[in-house]
A and B are shown apart, each in its own frame.
Chain A
């Protein structure tokens, strides 16, 4: 992935900035600049809209055969999250004791994490993952 391509997405990847159609009030993340409901009525009426970052898992899996660059995290949970604003996105769910614990209905919140990098010398691509809303883990003795 080239640097400019990542750089221009920073508001969305870093801060969960989506868009809102001021014609119908629907919000979109990942961002859309044409509202699929209002279509031409929405042209020029889409505004940036920051998502709260809380949501619910609607579908999930545990990846054992990773995408290139994700080998160190195997096995990791991938899920489709429905944000409380109503839109859906695909994400990793991190900070779980066991990735199989990520199941539909689980409440999650956004977290700023490293997503991938261009090798050891390339740019680091940061972005948003999700973690359990209620922190998991044991209480140390």
Chain B
């Protein structure tokens, strides 16, 4: 049993109290999701296709990971293009004036540039700014949820009218490494604002320690990881602690939520943690996308949330917990509002529809698209 993080008994939570305890403070605005969009590249490579190359047992690998296939970006796609496509869907759906966006945060561990923001490319592509603040976030797979927390703060405090948060990745796993079976690509975008909210962001808490379970050094093409160390002391410890703190703060139990979304480094971990916390398969089914598209890293929990928002009813409560190696977990308590009904009348593709049209790749084409082939020049 791993000890919970050290904390003096009785010390107040640094996250403050959720609004439901004290009423809505007059100096803070409500905050929530105004619109959302998503993009997953259409290419897929099957777990068995990868396994065949390395002499692994394909069906067994797919079953162990609960990942049948993963998404692969095309040669003309990266985090910037995925971010733009996801954001355009969010903006076009509600006819949002991009000049109202006061902050753009893109969370990713695979930004196209090491130095030079993705957010500025996104801003230019949607016609936002120049009066806005932008920055790229990096915290392994939870860069997007961390960006969402920052956006919540800016909107709640009236520092910006609306913030745009994008979680996107085109993550890479080294050839033959276990990561190669899951590291995939996708993105989700959220307009975070105070008016016309379709889902209220009630509260957020985080749980963060220095746990080197997965990393990529500057200049390295592929990440490294601590193998089985990525499990119990990393993913499970942080997600569980964070989720428990959220339910403690909200005085809620799993039964209070219609939907739950967990980070999904594969298709197995989120199912396992859901059970540990007392959530059912019914609650996590809609947001569980890893079996179909692999681990979209920063986008994994946000894409799951998008899938839930596609179908959730007014009043539904959604429990979202992201995880990023290194390590930390961010949890969100969300309530879908009545506005979702009118929002859904503005027709746009659903996650399910978007994932329905795919093109299977063989390993060599996948290797070419992902720059895994050493060229002579």
Contacts and interface: CB of A to CB of B under 8 A. Distances in A.
Q: Tell whether any CB of A sits under 8 Å from a CB of B in the complex.
A: yes
Interface of A: 10-11, 14-15, 50, 72-73, 92, 94-95, 97, 111-115, 124, 126, 129, 135-140
B76 A129 contact: yes
Contacts of B74: 94-95
Interface of B: 42, 44, 69, 74-78, 80-81, 84-85, 88, 112-113, 121, 124-127, 292, 355-360, 368-369
B359 A112 contact: no
Nearest to B85: A112
A135 B357 contact: yes
Nearest to A137: B357
Nearest to B113: A124
A97 B127 contact: no
A124 B117 CA distance: 12
30 contacts: A15-B126, A15-B127, A50-B127, A94-B74, A94-B76, A97-B359, A111-B81, A112-B80, A112-B85, A113-B76, A114-B76, A114-B77, A114-B80, A114-B81, A124-B113, A126-B80, A126-B121, A126-B125, A129-B76, A135-B357, A136-B359, A137-B357, A138-B357, A138-B358, A138-B359, A139-B358, A140-B44, A140-B355, A140-B356, A140-B360
Nearest to B293: A140
A95 B74 CA distance: 8
A6 to B, nearest CB: 12
Contacts of A129: 76
Contact of B356 (A92, A94, A113, A139): A139
Contacts of A138: 357-360
A15 B124 CA distance: 8
Given A114-B77, A114-B81, A72 B369 contact: yes
Given A15-B126, A139-B357, 17 more contacts: A14-B125, A15-B124, A15-B127, A73-B75, A94-B74, A95-B74, A112-B80, A112-B125, A114-B75, A114-B81, A115-B76, A124-B80, A126-B121, A126-B125, A129-B76, A136-B359, A139-B358
Interface SS of chain A: helix, strand, loop or mixed? mixed
Contacts of A135: 42, 357
Contacts of A124: 78, 80, 112-113
Contacts of A72: 75, 368-369
A56 B82 CA distance: 24
B42 A95 contact: yes
A113 B77 contact: yes
Nearest to A131: B42
B361 to A, nearest CB: 12
A126 B81 contact: yes
B230 to A, nearest CB: 28
Nearest to B368: A72
A112 B88 contact: yes
A14 B124 contact: yes
A95 B77 CA distance: 11
A14 B44 CA distance: 27
A25 B75 CA distance: 38
A51 B339 CA distance: 30
A10 B126 CA distance: 11
A138 B85 CA distance: 21
A113 B81 contact: yes
A112 B358 CA distance: 19
Contacts of A73: 75-76
Interface centre among B44, B126, B357, by most A CB within 10 Å?
Answer: B357
B102 to A, nearest CB: 20
Q: Which 10 A-B pairs have the closest CB atoms?
A: A137-B357, A112-B84, A113-B76, A135-B357, A14-B125, A114-B76, A72-B75, A137-B358, A137-B359, A140-B358
Contacts of B360: 138, 140
Contacts of B81: 111-114, 126
